[in-house]
């Protein structure tokens, strides 16, 4: 089984939603990617925290996906070693992981960087177009937008993985 590791800060919003979306789509829509699974972790996660209630609600109501049993995990060496690829939510997450785990640099990308084949650039406020902003503490609409952004990126990820497999 090839593991895709989604990484964000606390593993309660973005990466947990990405994990839920990816696994649901692969399981329920096939795509020939049944040999892939997603897991998630956070760089500064508090072990055992549940997924954010707004993340749970947005995925359940908008996509029929239940992530209510998710428990936050801090990223470990074995996560890095076991991952087929590591997809972060921001360039800062990527840079942090490369600094901590330099030997894994070749398999660490931001999610949007990977699906856009590295074609991203810095905007006027120093955020990269391939960053997925953190909805933590924001209104539910921001979580909805985040989930939509993640869904679009994961749809593109699935296309890229299918290309790699020749499907």
**CA–CA distance, 144 with 34 (Å, rounded to integer):** 27
- Residue 96 contacts by C-beta under 8 Å, 6 or more apart in sequence? 43
- Asked if CATH classification 3.40.50.2300 holds for the domain at 2-165, the reply, yes or no, is yes
Q: Alpha helix (H) ranges present in 68-139?
A: 77-82, 91-100, 111-115
Residue range 121-138: average pLDDT? 68
pLDDT at 166 (0 to 100): 79
Active site residues: 8, 14, 134
On average, the pLDDT of the chain sits at 91
pLDDT at 123 (0 to 100): 44
Locate the domains of the chain by residue range. Answer: 2-165
CB atoms within 10 A of CB 24: 18
pTM: 0.92
Residue range 151-159: average pLDDT? 94
Max CA-CA distance within the chain? Answer: 41
The yes-or-no verdict on residue 126 having pLDDT over 60 is no
Residue range 97-114: average pLDDT? 94
pLDDT at 56 (0 to 100): 97
Residue range 85-114: average pLDDT? 95
Residue range 1-13: average pLDDT? 96
The yes-or-no verdict on residue 157 having pLDDT over 80 is yes
The yes-or-no verdict on residue 167 having pLDDT over 90 is no
């Amino acid at each position: 089984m090839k593991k895709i590791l989604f990484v964000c800060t606390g593993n309660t919003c973005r990466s947990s939603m990405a994990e839920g979306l990816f696994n649901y789509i692969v399981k329920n829509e096939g795509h020939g990617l049944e040999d892939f699974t997603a897991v998630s972790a956070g760089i500064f996660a508090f072990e055992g925290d549940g997924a954010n209630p707004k993340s749970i609600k947005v995925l359940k109501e908008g996509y029929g996906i239940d992530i209510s049993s998710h428990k936050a995990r801090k990223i470990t060496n074995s996560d890095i070693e076991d991952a087929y690829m590591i997809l972060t939510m921001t360039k800062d997450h990527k840079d942090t992981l490369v600094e901590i785990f330099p030997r894994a640099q070749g398999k660490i990308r931001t999610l949007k960087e990977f699906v856009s084949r590295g074609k991203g650039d810095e905007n006027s406020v120093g955020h990269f177009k391939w960053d997925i902003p953190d909805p933590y503490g924001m209104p539910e609409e921001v979580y909805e937008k985040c989930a939509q952004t993640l869904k679009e990126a994961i749809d593109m990820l699935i296309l890229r993985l299918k290309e790699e497999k020749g499907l």
